[in-house]
Amino acid sequence: MPLKIIRNSITLLKCDAIVNAANPTLLGGGGVDGAIHKAAGKGLLFECMKLGGCKTGQAKITGGHQLPCKYVIHTVGPKWRGGTNGERELLESCYRESLRLALEYGCSSVAFPLISSGVYGYPKDQALKVAVDSITTFLLEHDMLVYIVVFDRDSFRISEKLFVDIVAFIDDRYVGMDPIFSKTRRDVFDESTVLKTEEIFLPEEEDPAAFPPDFAAKEGKAAVPGSPDLKRGSQRSLEDVLNQEEESFSQALLRKIDEKGMTDSQCYKKANVDRKLFSKIRSNINYHPRKTTAIAFAIALELNLDETKELLLKAGFALSHSNKFDLIIEYFISSGNYNIFEINEALFAFDQELLGV
């Protein structure tokens, strides 16, 4: 199952467990710890008092009390002392131990703040990298929906060089009428990037706007995803169109997975797509994915630009030079960078929808 990065207060999330960046006493403090204790009420403090503290890099679990989550997993991150005192290993251990506990308690969704990146001074970009690396390593082996919750504007920043490269790439190719960059670098983190709590569990839906539903439904037959005829409503007869045996998105995806010698699970995990959604795609030959899902699979399969466009077309989508999202995807594919988490970091920085679920 996937990793998702969102902006919100962790205290509002309705997932099975939220993780607290605590101190060794487990008796509350400032930052996210203070916010969690405040929202959970005194019952959390009383339960924590019985735990006998916690060592750096370790984790302990309590109930959620008045929070919307079932559990709170308390972990103690390392204090930053220049980076050469085992900080990274200890921080990795925080993620690993918290996830181990989440698994043990049957959690299917867990949310992390950026542990150590506040009072404990771990540089935010490095803290984010450790979080993403540790969680994705875990997700290769386990099914869970994991959120990283970033709270402030500065927590989530792609490197200056990558940002500048992407801007240059877009500037060179953008063919729209309006200036694409009306915002400054700091402004890309405006409030519209904040996902509201209710949005967090929105299921994948077929996108009716992207594909006319009426044709196929009337005849009890599947429309041919990506058929230019369907998209344009051409003069050809309906029968002609329906007789045209074209590979669907689902068929093309499964074929490509085989061609690349991947297993299904390698592919959907690399695509940051959840197993249930993949099963839906697998079992429904005419499944119509969202554009972000289709692209996520192209990235997981490491398709080149032409192959990506071909796969997208099967789902009725194209990559254009008139929107930022498409150009960012093109930038990464052209540079041969298929790391979906890095791509998502960039999409987030440019205020775009993220790939995968």
Helix, strand or coil for residue 125?
helix
For residues 225 and 168, give the distance between their C-alpha atoms in angstroms, rounded to a whole number: 34
For residues 105 and 2, give the distance between their C-alpha atoms in angstroms, rounded to a whole number: 19
97 forms part of the interface with ligand AR6 (CB under 6 A): no
Q: Which is nearer to ligand AR6, 116 or 292 (CB)?
A: 116
Touching ligand AR6, residues 62-81 (CB under 6 A): 77
Q: Which is nearer to ligand AR6, 131 or 252 (CB)?
A: 131
Sole residue written with tokens 């692209």: 295
For residues 338 and 344, give the distance between their C-alpha atoms in angstroms, rounded to a whole number: 11
Q: Which is nearer to ligand AR6, 75 or 248 (CB)?
A: 75
**Residue 127 beta carbon to ligand AR6: minimum distance, rounded to whole angstroms:** 7
Q: Which is nearer to ligand AR6, 31 or 212 (CB)?
A: 31
Q: Which is nearer to ligand AR6, 34 or 228 (CB)?
A: 34
Touching ligand AR6, residues 5-64 (CB under 6 A): 9-11, 21-23, 29-33, 35
For residues 293 and 331, give the distance between their C-alpha atoms in angstroms, rounded to a whole number: 18
From candidates 120, 138, 317, 325, binder to ligand AR6 by CB under 6 A: 120
Residue type, 285: I
Cα dist from 24 to 40, 75, 127, 307, whole Å: 19, 8, 19, 52
From candidates 110, 114, 295, 340, binder to ligand AR6 by CB under 6 A: 114
Size of the site for ligand AR6 (CB under 6 A): 25
For residues 41 and 331, give the distance between their C-alpha atoms in angstroms, rounded to a whole number: 47
Is 133 a residue of the active site? Answer: no
- State phi, psi for 221 to the nearest 5 degrees: -120, 160
**Residue 139 beta carbon to ligand AR6: minimum distance, rounded to whole angstroms:** 21
**Residue 326 beta carbon to ligand AR6: minimum distance, rounded to whole angstroms:** 31
Residue among 16, 33, 274, 326 flagged as catalytic: 33
**167 sits in which H/E element:** helix 160-173
Residue type, 93: S
Given its phi and psi angles, is residue 83 left (phi above 0), alpha (psi -120 to 50 degrees) or beta? left
From candidates 56, 93, 109, 117, binder to ligand AR6 by CB under 6 A: 117
CA 93 to chain CA centroid, Å, is: 22
Which of 127, 128, 147 is CA-nearest to residue 10? 147
**Residue 154 beta carbon to ligand AR6: minimum distance, rounded to whole angstroms:** 8
From candidates 71, 151, 297, 350, binder to ligand AR6 by CB under 6 A: 151
Q: Which is nearer to ligand AR6, 43 or 123 (CB)?
A: 123
Footprint of ligand AR6 (CB under 6 A):
9-11, 21-23, 29-33, 35, 77, 113-120, 149, 151-152, 155
Residues designated as active site: 33
